[in-house]
Amino acid sequence: MAQAVAVAKPPAPPRRRRASATPRRLPYLLIAPAALLMLGFIAYPVISVFYYSLQNYNPTKPWRNGYAGFDNFVHAFTDDPIFWDTLTFSAKWVFVEVGLQLMFGLALALIVNQTFVGRSLGRALVFSPWAVSGVLTSAIWVLLYNSQTGITRYLADMGIGTYGTSWLSDTSTVFSAAIVADLWRGVPFFAILILADLQSVSKDLYEAAEVDGASRFKQFWHITLPHLKDAIVLSTLLRAVWEFNNVDLLYTLTGGGPAGETTTLPLYIANTSVDAHNFGYASALTTVAFVILLFCSVIYLRLSKFGSESK
Amino acid sequence: MITKEATEAAPTPVSVPTEAEHRPRKGKYRAWDDAPRWQIYLPLSIYLVFTLIPFYWILLFALRPAGSTSLVPWPITFEHFEKVWTERSFATYFQNSLLVGVATLLMTTLVALAGGYALARFDFKVKRAFMLALLCSQFVPGALLLVPLFEIFAELQMINSLTSVIIAETVFQLPLSMILISNFIKNVPYTLEEAAWVDGCNRFTAFRIVVLPLLRPGLIAVGSFAFVHSWNHFLFALMFLNNQSKQTIPVGLNTLMSADSVDLGALAAGGIIAAVPVVLVFAFIQKWLITGFSAGAVKG
């Protein structure tokens, strides 16, 4: 990976051309639209979230608005069991989803990287759910899990499960049901990224290993996996952040229910701000979520020694 | 195949000569190519069943008459499509989604192209800081910024206007698109541009004539992602658009789903309407998907 970056560097210091072809301010003009958009609609909202986290701010109760110090944070950590419940659920959700997606995605990528008859059709079909939106995924799985006409009915015909159960409204099944629905869409993401990285494994390495009599498993363990390491670290991290933040699927599939069983922290924040209009408290929770994400990302990159092995 | 089975059947003493026999075809790479066929087709088929049954299920519900429990969509009916398109205003949603998708595509591509060019071709003072900001923004969750974003758009009188959604989608698409595009541009040799200057082109013309055609695959990939992402995205439209005539397809689907008694046929038909443009786009960019990613994203 280090190599690729080195190769991709611009070939010559462009400054020598400046006098003839380039006014000095051109690069700034070029990044200006992007910079302005990001300042206005990412940086400014982030700062205002930090600001509101220290305020009592509720448009429906204006008489209480004002500086609150760290009250919101204290309340979250000491006095709000829902915060802890949703945080725990978020952690569980991210961990299980990313773990399973990586496992299946890696296996799928290795399989469709082989040469076999029907490979391109196989790839297209396997990757297809990736393009499907969270809401559409929910719609599809609502149809599948429906108690009268869903797949559960036909499974019950075959003796798996019982009639009349809706997997999404039963607290004992809703977690697995939501996990499977999200896996259906999430596995192809990993498969695509890993497949892309598999294209750059040097074939000489396998030949050498073959000559030395290494088994296919050993080749996978000592050649393929180390090569994929950086891609795996990066994609699991991006995916974990994405799974943590993404609310489309759970919002539409379970609405956080039944009985708050599948409410993630971001869902709770959305409810707090949109339904309860408690913007100050929601901002404090958002700040906590930021810090947790940042902290976990740094720890993860450290522990995995991202980019440390030069290849 | 036969040698492989023989190896498995008779382990220790025989396996050594068979192994030797088993890797002839000198010089040809085969380590991962010689997996027994069943090890490919069996897991692939199982996974395909998991992938395809949900697609079949939604087709089934969309095409069979309401109340039918048949496992084949026969007799085929299009009543659900007609109903969802007219009565449930999916015609309006479709137009709105299309507008949001195309506008996001154009804005993202243009802004990212300008910024990506600056990042690829110049060294300037704030470049490192700007790159860092791009990377950090990947960790900023749009969902958690709903309230401040809502307030900004309220201030700008953009609530209930598709402009708000277009801006929000563009902003969150920009960082990754810009990084990708700047990597694509770096892959085009700078000397090509310099040669065009020598021939009398100014920087812009040189870029347009020499670089832009070479960027086509990359731009198609970036543009398609921007389109599909904004077509699929739900939360911004849900929050910033209150008026039913302004809403987009994902919001429409959510409305169908959260009704007291869900009309499954209409939901399925609506879902298929939601999927059609995305399927078309991906059929179109399939061949650039893998190469585009290996050129841009992962290697970044």
- Residue A48: closest CA among chain B residues belongs to which residue? B148
Which residues contact residue A280 at a Cβ distance below 8 angstroms, ignoring those fewer than 6 apart? A52, A53, A55, A56, A57, A58, A65, A68, A72
Which of these ranges, A291-300, B271-280, B284-293, has the smallest mean pLDDT? B284-293
Q: What integer pLDDT is reported at residue A91 of this predicted model? A: 93
ipTM of the complex: 0.80
Give yes or no for B269 touching A (CB within 8 A): no
First to last CA, chain A: 7
Which of these ranges, A266-270, B1-5, B30-34, B128-132, has the smallest mean pLDDT? B1-5
Measured between beta carbons, the chain A residues lying within 8 angstroms of B194 are 17
- A153 in a structural domain: yes
Q: How many CA atoms lie within 13 A of B36 on its CB side?
A: 12
Handedness of CA A61, A64, A69, A70 (dihedral sign): negative
* CB atoms near residue A261 (< 10 Å): 17
What's the whole-number average pLDDT of chain B? 80
Least CB–CB distance from A11: residue in B44, B178, B191 = B191
Q: What integer pLDDT is reported at residue B165 of this predicted model? A: 93
Residues of chain A below pLDDT 50: 1-10, 12, 15-21, 309-311
Q: How confident is the model at residue B17 (pLDDT cuts 50, 70, 90)?
A: very low
Least CB–CB distance from B147: residue in A12, A31, A279 = A279
What is the rounded CA–CA span in Å between residue B134 and residue A39?
A: 11
Q: What integer pLDDT is reported at residue A164 of this predicted model? A: 67
SS3 B63: helix
pLDDT digits (tens, 9 = 90+) for B91-140: 999 999 999 999 999 999 999 999 999 998 888 888 888 888 888 787 77
* CB atoms near residue B160 (< 10 Å): 16
Give yes or no for B257 touching A (CB within 8 A): yes
pLDDT digits (tens, 9 = 90+) for B200-238: 888 888 888 888 888 887 888 888 889 988 998 888 898
Can you tell me which residue has the tokens 């309230």?
A: B147
Residue A199, domain CATH: 1.10.3720.10
Q: How confident is the model at residue B289 (pLDDT cuts 50, 70, 90)?
A: low
Give yes or no for B284 touching A (CB within 8 A): no
Q: How confident is the model at residue B20 (pLDDT cuts 50, 70, 90)?
A: very low
State the smallest CA–CA distance between residue B56 and chain A in angstroms: 10
- A23 in a structural domain: no
SS3 A56: strand
The CATH number of domain B90-295, selected from 2.120.10.30, 3.30.160.270, 1.10.8.590, 1.10.3720.10:
1.10.3720.10
SS3 A109: helix
Beta-carbon separation of A10 and B124 below 8 A: no
Mean pLDDT of B145-154: 86
Q: Are B162 and B241 in contact (CB under 8 A)?
A: yes
Q: How far is CA B22 from CA A34, A210, B6, B15, in A?
A: 58, 11, 11, 10
Buried b (16+ CB within 10 A) or exposed e, B87-97: ebbbebbbebb
Tell me the β-bridge partners of A67: A55
Which of these ranges, A282-286, B27-31, B194-198, B287-291, has the smallest mean pLDDT? B27-31
State the smallest CA–CA distance between residue A203 and chain B in angstroms: 7
Beta-carbon separation of A37 and B233 below 8 A: no
Number of folded domains in chain A?
1
Give yes or no for A147 touching B (CB within 8 A): no
pLDDT digits (tens, 9 = 90+) for A94-133: 999 999 999 999 999 988 888 888 888 888 888 888 888 8
Helix extents (H) in chain B:
2-9, 12-22, 37-63, 79-86, 90-121, 127-137, 146-155, 162-186, 190-198, 203-206, 212-232, 235-240, 249-257, 264-295
- A184 in a structural domain: yes
The secondary structure of residue B65, as a DSSP letter, is P
Q: What integer pLDDT is reported at residue B295 of this predicted model? A: 54
Domain ranges, residue A281:
76-303
Which residues contact residue A37 at a Cβ distance below 8 angstroms, ignoring those fewer than 6 apart? B111, B167, B170, B171, B174
Least CB–CB distance from A192: residue in B40, B55, B293 = B293
Which residues contact residue B219 at a Cβ distance below 8 angstroms, ignoring those fewer than 6 apart? B109, B113, B181, B184
Least CB–CB distance from A140: residue in B58, B190, B298 = B58
Q: What integer pLDDT is reported at residue B292 of this predicted model? A: 56
- A220 in a structural domain: yes
Q: Which helix (H) or strand (E) holds A67?
A: strand A66-67
Q: Which two tokens stand for residue A277?
A: 């209009």
Residue ranges per structural domain of chain B: 1-27, 90-295
Handedness of CA A88, A191, A238, B281 (dihedral sign): negative
What is the rounded CA–CA span in Å between residue B102 and residue B94?
A: 12
**Amino acid identity of B127?**
K
- Residue A146: closest CA among chain B residues belongs to which residue? B264
Least CB–CB distance from A193: residue in B23, B203, B298 = B298
- A168 in a structural domain: yes
Q: What integer pLDDT is reported at residue A75 of this predicted model? A: 83
- A18 in a structural domain: no
Mean pLDDT of B1-29: 40
